[in-house]
Amino acid sequence: MLSKTKIAELSNVQTPFYYYDMDLLDQTLNSVKKESDAYGYKVHYAVKANANDRILKTIKEKGLGADCVSGYEVKKALEIGFDPRGVVFAGVGKADWEINLGLDNEIACFNVESIPELEIIDELARKKGTVANVALRINPNVNANTHHYITTGLEENKFGINQWDLEKVIDRLSELTSVRLQGLHFHIGSQITDLTSYKELCLRVNEIQKWLLGRRIFPEVINVGGGLGIDYQNPDGNPMPDFQAFFKLFNDILELKPGQELHFELGRSLVAQCGTLLTKILYVKDGVQTKFAIVDAGMNDLIRPALYQAFHKVENLTSDGAFSKYDVVGPICESSDCFGKAVLLPETKRGDLFAIRSTGAYGEVMASQYNLRQIPQAYYSDEF
């Protein structure tokens, strides 16, 4: 929550912009570290959630690894100073240059999603006279009970190797000499708030492990991906997810073999709540059933509501008038450029400052220049 003086200061800044609460980021990182360290689990930060330099540096300094999904993310993580031995690289469509980049920098592991990909990694590694560590991304067919665009662990999704193909993949792997099976990788989806989906994942991992051990295959690392959700409705009441309950569930249910490591790839749960998109009201316009509060941020600055019908709490920081309902819309020429319908807000007028909350994950990083608008600036609470 922002103080009155801070709001007055922020009101003088050119909007729209992202504002990051670095104290909250720090507390969140301390919490995830403490709770995962308790079981010796390793967390890789999913760079895709927010690749802002300051955020990445802060995360790196806490000793987390990096989970990357493009060569550009691998490059960025290395530039920021993440240890290559803590960098994992996932994605269904890795280009040759991206694989070569990972090989040249001796990253920890490639999360592999198909036999053709495995064969190319093997070929490229052989050319370099090296051996690539790989983890097989297995599609566990577990429903994450989240938005269908961010559900990834069902058989119908493009991700991972389906279980019935595992035998074939294992056979092919035994013929390839420049790839080495390091582990198994899973990721069932994002914004998962019902922990029973993770319980199902753990049970599925246990079954797969039994099957593999029957074939004398012993993965050193089990990587269960990311996806832990946050409370978009009540960011002040729940500024941090319950990492303790999350890791405990894995400790209780997932049967790790002696010497095996458990890894995670958390993105949203680490950075979402520390970010706020600040925007000013340009105009208030009467509609047929409602009033429109037209703000200067658009779907190019924050695409989640338009793309996933995602909810973000909207607050008027500078009014304490009587409440009524507003559709909060942006200036872009698309009807989906809407941050909230019938939002209960104090009386709003031109120049008021709005906060669009919980936008630290998949906010700034998904911003575009649509309509030739500019990518929004970012400011940090410890600098300003």
- What x/- string results for residues 104 through 143 when contact with ligand LLP is judged by CB under 6 A? ----------------------------------------
- Residues in region 89-108 near ligand LLP by CB under 6 A: 90
Told to check if 59 binds ligand LLP by CB under 6 A, we report no
Stretch 261-280: interaction string toward ligand LLP, x if CB under 6 A: ----xxxxx-----------
Residue 299's closest CA among 313, 279, 285? 279
**Tokens 């099957």 label which residue?**
211
User: Does an H or E element contain 163, and which?
Assistant: none
Task: Rule CB under 6 A: say whether 225 interacts with ligand LLP.
Answer: yes
304 binds ligand LLP (CB under 6 A): yes
In sequence order, the 6+-apart residues with CB closer than 8 A to the CB of 341 are 290, 327
H or E element, residue 30 = helix 22-37
What 8-state DSSP symbol labels residue 375? Answer: P
Task: Look up residue 143 and give its amino acid.
Answer: N
- The whole-angstrom separation of Cα 45 and Cα 271 is 10
**Minimal distance, residue 83 CB to ligand LLP, in Å:** 19
Taking contact as CB under 6 A, which single stretch among the options 28-36, 43-51, 98-106, 241-249 is the one that binds ligand LLP?
Answer: 43-51
- Is 379 exposed, middle or buried, given 0-12, 13-18 or 19+ CB atoms closer than 10 A? middle
- The residue (of 266 and 317) whose beta carbon lies closer to ligand LLP is 266
Q: Is there binding between residue 362 and ligand LLP (CB under 6 A)?
A: yes
The 158-197 contact track toward ligand LLP, x by CB under 6 A, reads: -----------------------------x--xx------
Instruction: Tell me which stretch binds ligand LLP (CB under 6 A): 199-207, 223-231, 276-284, 367-375.
Output: 223-231
Residues 316-355 that bind ligand LLP (CB under 6 A): none
Q: Toward ligand LLP, which CB reaches closer, 25 or 353?
A: 25
Residue 149: CB minimum distance to ligand LLP, A: 7
Check whether the bond before 16 is cis (ω within 30° of 0).
yes
Cβ–Cβ under 8 Å, residues 19 and 276: yes
* Smallest separation (angstroms) from ligand LLP to the CB of 265: 4
DSSP assignments along 222-282, one per residue:
EE----B---SS-TTT-SS--HHHHHHHHHHH--PPTT-EEEEEE-HHHHGGGEEEEEEEE
Interface residues toward ligand LLP, by CB under 6 A = 46, 48-49, 67, 90, 150, 187, 190-191, 225-228, 265-269, 304, 308, 362
